[in-house]
Amino acid sequence: MMAIQESPFTASQKDIGSFLTEEDVSCRYMQVGCTNPTENTSGRAISFLKEYMQAKSDTKSAMTAAEQAIAMLAWKRRSAFVSSLCTDYSKFRLHTNATTRQFLAFLDAQQGTASKAHFEALETALGFNLRVHGLLMDDIIGHKVPEAIMFDFFHIYLVHGIVGNELGFFFGKLRDAGFREDRMLAFVSSFRWPKQFASADAKRIFGKREKKTSPVKAEASELLNALPVLRVFVMMFVMKAGIDESTVQACMCFLMLCKVIDMLQAAVRGMVVDPAELHNTIVKHNNCLLDTYGEAAWVPKNHLSLHLGEFLKKFGHLVWCFTHERKHKLVKRFANQKLDGSKAFEESILKDVLAVQLNMMEGEMPSSKVRLMNPKPAPKKLVDLVGQVMPWATGPIMHDLRAMHAGGFVCTKGDVVAFDATSVGLVQFQFQAAGQVWTCVTPWKHVHEHMFECTGLDPFITATDSIKSCCIYSEKDGKAIVLV
């Protein structure tokens, strides 16, 4: 790859040739999503374009006039390149529907004028693949697609993403400070999760890694289960120990990461999240990551995260692919059995999947009301109890172990639920009477911060819709840590 330190080239810009104009060359050093590339991207683009032009001109010389012109234009534009480590969003120039169409039109015009290998190199340099019958080339909706795209924060942070990458560096820093993974594992293992999420084993984040700073390998649901518990561990033990300044900074960086995840989850659940505050929090976390661990901890998804605040501002909400990710196995179950992909393959697969999904959702369709998941007539003992405490309740009494909350979570017997930051309790049973769902809860006494006492208080019956959330907790000898 040619290194350009100054502009010694005198070739006329008209020598670029009719097949690649000055405007083409000067605007082609672009990433997908941003028209300001990184230094590496620009260098790669220059290299590919040089190879492409050499193939076009069939010239074997080390530096043709056309190549000199490309180098000169690249040098002139070098000041416009933005580092991939840049967190200043004001310096980013986003692709538009128009610029995307221009790129594709340029590629379409070049197709067939060079070998397959060199055309693919040109596609790589420009950051776009030409698909003549693809969505972007559709004359009806294709021109609207680029500005309708939203990055999925679920993949950015949780699928081989920012969370697992940073945890690797963070665990290495904690190990140097005397907090080894086995100690964290023991702490995490003492906690219980709401039954709705208990199948995701948070302990897997402590699996074997190649190096002490290697990324943590875990599924997204396991990372989501682990983060709140790790945050408490850091606040209760690490931050209160005699750690050095660099470890304090690593802890603060991790806590910022947790805050970002909290805000993103709130946004996808329909809660009010200020786009500017989300963006500023993401920027602060990325800057802290660079200050703490250096460039080695930066991955391309860190740059992608910088666009999430703008997406929230533009669209008014964020979407994530968590549900889609969980359903991969369902699609494969049908797709792997179909050997003939020539006749309505996609339609056939989607029909099978839709049928299964509708059947699974029969008792869990979205609703604004709290409801029992699988109501059954209550046993006589429960009917008598309801008659004593709620003599005004008429009609049949139904019961079930699980109740779907209007907030989208499931309350199950044995879960710890929260009514506010200091009011929590253990679910004993749930029933439906007088057209409403009720939950019997044994309250736990708040002591301090996350600490509660689990004994000595009488159970009470409350409307299930007064419950705000189900909690992760650790209980031993009548005392509990509850993450509200």
- Chain segment 395-419, per-residue pLDDT in tens: 899 999 999 886 678 999 999 999 9
Query: What is residue 199's predicted lDDT score, i.e. its pLDDT?
Result: 86
What lies within 8 Å, CB to CB, of 367 at 6+ separation is: 404, 406
Query: What is residue 285's predicted lDDT score, i.e. its pLDDT?
Result: 98
Query: What percent of the chain has a predicted confidence (pLDDT) above 70?
Result: 77
Query: What is residue 25's predicted lDDT score, i.e. its pLDDT?
Result: 41
- Chain segment 307-324, per-residue pLDDT in tens: 999 999 999 999 888 877
What is the DSSP code (8-state) at residue 107? Answer: H
Query: What is residue 55's predicted lDDT score, i.e. its pLDDT?
Result: 56
| pLDDT, mean of residues 57-84 | 51
- Chain segment 209-237, per-residue pLDDT in tens: 999 999 999 999 999 999 999 999 999 99
**Of 397, 395, 446, which Cα lies nearest the Cα of 423?**
446
For tokens 């659940």, name the residue: 269
- Chain segment 247-266, per-residue pLDDT in tens: 999 999 999 999 999 999 99
Query: What percent of the chain has a predicted confidence (pLDDT) above 90?
Result: 52
Do the strands 416-420 and 469-476 form a parallel or antiparallel pair, or are they unpaired?
A: antiparallel
| pLDDT, mean of residues 444-457 | 91
Do the strands 436-448 and 451-453 form a parallel or antiparallel pair, or are they unpaired?
A: antiparallel
Q: How confident is the model at residue 38 (pLDDT cuts 50, 70, 90)?
A: very low
pTM of the entire predicted model: 0.78
- Chain segment 166-195, per-residue pLDDT in tens: 999 999 999 999 999 999 999 999 999 999
User: Three-state DSSP class for 479?
Assistant: strand
**Of 236, 225, 243, 239, which Cα lies nearest the Cα of 188?**
225
| pLDDT, mean of residues 352-369 | 71
Query: What is residue 233's predicted lDDT score, i.e. its pLDDT?
Result: 96
CA-to-CA dists, residue 163 to 158, 217, 285, 306, 392, angstroms: 6, 10, 12, 15, 52
**Whether pLDDT at 200 is above 80:** yes
| pLDDT, mean of residues 43-47 | 54
Query: What is residue 341's predicted lDDT score, i.e. its pLDDT?
Result: 60
More confident residue, 435 or 122: 435
Query: What is residue 175's predicted lDDT score, i.e. its pLDDT?
Result: 95
Query: What is residue 29's predicted lDDT score, i.e. its pLDDT?
Result: 35
- Chain segment 129-163, per-residue pLDDT in tens: 898 888 888 888 888 888 999 999 999 999 999 99
User: Three-state DSSP class for 207?
Assistant: coil
**Whether pLDDT at 205 is above 80:** yes
Q: How confident is the model at residue 365 (pLDDT cuts 50, 70, 90)?
A: low
**Of 4, 119, 89, which Cα lies nearest the Cα of 279?**
89
**Whether pLDDT at 304 is above 70:** yes
Q: Considering only 38-52, 169-183, 196-210, 424-438, which range has the smallest mean pLDDT?
A: 38-52
Q: Considering only 162-166, 271-275, 334-338, which range has the smallest mean pLDDT?
A: 334-338
Q: How confident is the model at residue 110 (pLDDT cuts 50, 70, 90)?
A: confident
Query: What is residue 53's predicted lDDT score, i.e. its pLDDT?
Result: 55
- Chain segment 432-445, per-residue pLDDT in tens: 998 899 999 999 99
More confident residue, 55 or 61: 55
CA-to-CA dists, residue 61 to 68, 75, 410, angstroms: 12, 21, 70
Phi, psi of 406, rounded to the nearest 5 degrees:
-65, -20
- Label residue 156 exposed, middle or buried (CB < 10 Å: 0-12, 13-18, 19+): buried
Q: Considering only 126-135, 178-187, 359-368, 471-480, which range has the smallest mean pLDDT?
A: 359-368
Average pLDDT for the chain: 82
Q: How confident is the model at residue 472 (pLDDT cuts 50, 70, 90)?
A: very high
Query: What is residue 63's predicted lDDT score, i.e. its pLDDT?
Result: 43
Query: What is residue 455's predicted lDDT score, i.e. its pLDDT?
Result: 82
**Whether pLDDT at 165 is above 60:** yes
Query: What is residue 368's predicted lDDT score, i.e. its pLDDT?
Result: 67
> What's the token pair of residue 91?
């310096």
> What's the token pair of residue 52?
């492409």
Query: What is residue 248's predicted lDDT score, i.e. its pLDDT?
Result: 96
**Of 39, 104, 47, which Cα lies nearest the Cα of 78?**
39
| pLDDT, mean of residues 102-117 | 84
More confident residue, 354 or 16: 354
* Opening angle at CA 273, ends 267 and 275, nearest 5: 105
